[in-house]
Amino acid sequence: MLDAGHYGKQNRSPVVPEYWESEMTWKLQNYLKAELEAYGFDVGTTRTDQTKDLAVVSRGRKAKGYDLFISLHSNACGTESVDRVVGIYLVPDDRTNADEKSKEVAELLAKGVAGVMPVKGGYQCYCRYDTGDREGNGKADDNYYGVLHGARSVNVPGVIIEHSFHTNTAAARWLLSDDNLKRLAKREAEILAEYYGLKKSDIPGDVDGDGVVDSYDALLVKKAALGTIVLNDVQKKRADINGDSDIDSLDFLYIKRKILKS
């Protein structure tokens, strides 16, 4: 479950006026969604309209049923020179292993993002406790950040990734580039695919194994269904979308729908 931090026009950079955190995260969310889907991930987003708001805890709870919640952001502070990637993970919790997974993913993503962005301060990872008792169990053992509290409430590992600080001129200008955001999305998807053990060659419908499902894959399935070509065993596995051990029109229609959707 991907969460674009903020909505509309929010969190403008004080040093690069054309930069808005809310606009950057929406673009990055969409690029990352496409990259993850290329690996076969089933990806949801907390909002479908960039102009609409949703309470932070509710956004975290949108992750119910998913393996991971990621909230995309850039940070801000009062010192212009601060330039580092930040990964924030769930507070320790003996009742679940979601916190361990959250920490693992946060550290992997923060390190990976710092390897793409030309940040001067590297990266840091941490968790933060709320000062109150959000769960009402008499203990101050809850997550400070609302999105992480929401994700934890549905027992899903949650992570916040701060793509440096938009109060830093170089970072804000770098994040204004769509090409740079695409580079980030590609690297973040690679990290998550490796963590979950997925490869682009595993994508259902990617008959030729080039990492994308396209019209050529549809053509191969159509010819296989008509009996004009014979697929090898690996290609058959990729082409048999519904798993009925037969390459037929149903498989072809699935691929056509996937192409149109993308």
Q: What is the pLDDT tens value at each position of the chain, 262 positions in all?
A: 999 999 999 999 999 999 999 999 999 999 999 999 888 888 999 999 999 999 999 999 999 999 999 999 999 999 999 999 999 999 999 999 999 999 999 999 999 999 999 999 999 999 999 999 998 888 889 999 999 999 999 999 999 999 999 999 999 999 999 999 999 999 999 999 999 998 776 678 888 887 788 899 999 999 999 999 999 888 898 899 888 999 999 999 988 887 877 6
- pTM of the full predicted structure? 0.80
Cα separation, 92 vs 129, whole angstroms = 9
Helices 146-153 and 98-116, axial angle in degrees (round to 10): 140
Neighbour-count burial for 1-28, b at 16+ CB within 10 Å, e otherwise: bbbbbbbeeebbbebbeebbbbbbbbbb
Pick the CATH number of 200-261 from 1.20.1290.10, 1.20.200.10, 1.25.40.80, 1.10.1330.10: 1.10.1330.10
The CATH superfamily assigned to 2-196 is Zn-dependent exopeptidases (3.40.630.40)
Cα separation, 195 vs 218, whole angstroms = 30
Compute, in degrees rounded to 10, the torsion defined by CA atoms 43, 214, 25, 132.
10
Cα separation, 168 vs 165, whole angstroms = 6
